[in-house]
Amino acid sequence: MTRTARFTLDPAFTIGDVSPRLFGSFVEHLGRCVYDGIHEPGHPAADEAGLRTDVLELIRELGVTAIRYPGGNFVSGYRWEDGVGPVDERPRRLDLAWRSTETNRFGLSEYIAFLKKVGPQAEPMMAVNLGTRGVREAIELQEYANHPAGTELSDRRIAHGDKDPFGIGLWCLGNEMDGPWQTGHKTAEEYGRLAAETARAMRQIDPSVELVACGSSSRSMPTFAAWEATVLAETYDLVDYVSLHAYYEELDGDRDSFLASAVDMESFIESVVATCDHIGARLKSSRRINLSFDEWNVWYMSRSQKATEDNPLDWPEAPRLLEDNYTVTDAVVLGTLLIALLRHADRVTVACLAQLVNVIAPIMTEPGGPAWKQTTFFPFAQAAQHGRGRVLDVRVDSPTYRTAKYGETDLLHATAVRDPETGAVTVFAVNRSQDEELPLEVALHGFDLAKIAEHRVLADSDPDARNTLTEPDRVTPHQAQDTTLDGAVLRATLEPMSWNMIRLT
């Protein structure tokens, strides 16, 4: 018989407050994320600006906040001027990052208008090109976007039809500049100096801007940690965040290790925090650098790399790239990654699910046809809606299982968030066992909780079940049975390989 997993919750023991930006996303000019994704003039559901209203509705339901743009690898070859002004006068360019042709029909103004239609929770997070460009181009973009009026660049924005400044406050200083694949790749010393110079100049325009320095593009990079240390030695008192990127996939049929991917993510976060704090101590700085986990997801990178290599250099417009079709297993893993981010909410205060539509995304579309939710849509939407407030300290006592990559690992991965206004508590929990239920007991100390509002589960008898164009509702969450609140003890049974949201009010 499977041993019961347990943990205790107490409002006095917390991790930190959840930043709304933890539920951010990412729109890059890659494949069909922009074109035929959020922007498809002529579609039956398109509005006057060419934005698909069916996609906008799903984005609102998903609950994303800060949306990073325009890349990604794309930004390191991007000229922001190409994406402003009259659309029919914008140049077509080769995009070296994704071997495509960029039409620039969608640019800065369209991005800001898109955010406004998503809703007030959608905040711009703009990346500047520090691959093939530098300080001058960054501050010119900042002036065009944010200065009210009275200069050539701000007046150019007004002449282009945008009287009000865009008010972009969160900026990425380049993208994955440690990667040899990056156009304009730099050493840590080269990038650290350029990022510091750019940060100083941007703060001369507006001291209140929030800036993200590039961390390692992966924990597996040979320069990991040394890169962060070198970059932060140059930028520590000039930036607010250092970035992290991580993607996970099931390799060689090792599903047990795949289900434990969050073990790696949590270790990655803790290593970067240690590096940040070491540099801060060495510099005797009173500032604290937080983390921007601005690319994370399940991504079958080994498949997509082969597809990209096989793609002839015919420079197509908006090709079908990186369109992973996610399974129930993938959704459960994505749920554990969300739990990992919440468990480190004291330092991870920005995070962006990469990406938003079509490209390794929770939302899929068909040109001229419907839009639908992937399996991964549901854990993210539930966490974005109910994972707001203060994260409670969860230390599980769980049965374990053995994994090839991470050794002995807890079957239970969990966190909990308390709404300080209502007192409601939401438990997010994953059972990593592929074939056995997991009994769960949660001791509740110091709470005034009367009932279980809901216990929603994402699981399926077929772990490879997925939502598709022909079966868009094959996988949806369902209500659990027999979950009880007996005095100060919550009891539930977690289905095999399942994502669970339990709301207590």
- DSSP assignment of 206-260 equals -TT-EEEE---S-TTSTTTTHHHHHHHHHHTTT-SEEEEEEEE---TT-HHHHHT
Same domain, 296 and 259: yes
Percentage with pLDDT > 90 across the chain: 96
pLDDT surpassing 50 at residue 492? yes
Residue 34 near residue 50, CB atoms below 8 Å = no
Interval 445-471 mean pLDDT:
96
pLDDT of 111 above 70: yes
pLDDT above 80: residue 489: yes
- The DSSP letter of residue 141 is H
Same domain, 290 and 327: yes
Which of 386, 407, 433 delimits the end of a domain? 386
Average pLDDT on 338-343 reads: 98
Which residues, at least 6 apart from 343, have a Cβ–Cβ distance to it below 8 Å? 15, 266, 391, 394, 415
248-264 per-residue burial string, b: 16 or more CB within 10 A, e: under 16: bbbeeeebbbbbbbbbb
Question: How many domains does one find in the chain?
Answer: 2
Could you tell me if 400 and 339 lie in one domain? no
Q: Please report which helix (H) or strand (E) contains residue 381, including its range.
A: helix 377-386
Pairing of strands 93-95, 438-444: unpaired
- Residue pair 416/428 in contact (Cβ under 8 Å)? The answer is yes
Measured distance CA(424)–CA(454) in Å, rounded: 12
**388 Cβ contact partners less than 8 Å away, ≥ 6 residues apart:** 18, 20, 417, 419
Residues 352 and 415 in one domain: no
Would you state the structure tokens that stand for residue 33, as one six-digit string? 């994320």
pTM attached to this predicted model: 0.97
Q: How far apart are alpha carbons 161 and 156 in whole angstroms?
A: 9
Q: Tell me the residue type at 299.
A: W
> Rounded to whole angstroms, how far apart are CA atoms 389 and 419?
5
pLDDT, residue 58, reads 98
Q: Indicate which CATH number applies to the domain containing 453.
A: 2.60.40.1180
* Judgement on whether residues 363 and 475 belong to the same structural domain of the protein: no
Spatial separation of the C-alpha atoms in residues 336 and 256, rounded to whole Å: 13
Note whether 241 and 366 are same-domain residues. Answer: yes
C-beta separation of 290 from 239 below 8 A: no
Asked if residue 453 and residue 307 are part of one domain, the reply reads no
Clarify whether residues 306 and 433 are in a common domain: no
Share of the chain residues as helix, strand and coil, in percent rounded to the nearest 5? 30, 25, 45
Buried b (16+ CB within 10 A) or exposed e, 468-485: eeeeeeebebeebeebeb
H helices of 67-132, in order, are: 108-118
Provide the pLDDT confidence category of residue 308 given band limits of 50, 70 and 90.
low
Domain limit, last residue, from 386, 415, 433: 386
- Residue 1 has a pLDDT of 45
Active site residues: 176, 295
Beta bridge mates, 124:
67
Q: Which residue has the tokens 């002839």?
A: 312
434 and 346, same structural domain?
Answer: no
Res. 419: pLDDT tops 70: yes
**Residue where a domain stops, chosen among 353, 386, 419:** 386
CA dist 108 and 97 (Å) reads 19
**DSSP string computed for 456-500:** EEE--SSTT-B--SS-TTSS--EE-SS-EEETTEEEEEEPSSEEE
- Same domain, residue pair 376 and 426: no
Kindly report the CATH number assigned to the domain that includes residue 58.
3.20.20.80
Q: Are residues 103 and 142 part of one domain?
A: yes
Q: Are residues 402 and 381 in the same domain?
A: no
pLDDT in tens, 148-199: 999 999 999 999 999 999 999 999 999 999 999 999 999 999 999 999 999 9
pLDDT tens per residue across span 352-406: 999 999 999 999 999 999 999 999 999 999 999 999 999 999 999 999 999 999 9
Q: Give the count of alpha carbons within 13 A of 233, CB side only.
A: 10
Which pLDDT belongs to residue 303? 80
**333: containing domain:** 19-386
Confidence of residue 81 (pLDDT cuts 50, 70, 90): very high
Q: Of all helices (H) and strands (E), which one includes residue 502?
A: strand 498-504
pLDDT greater than 80 at residue 432 = yes
CB neighbour list of residue 460: distance below 8 Å, 6 or more residues apart: 328, 475
Q: Express each pLDDT in 202-245 by its tens digit.
A: 999 999 999 999 999 999 999 999 999 999 999 999 999 999 99
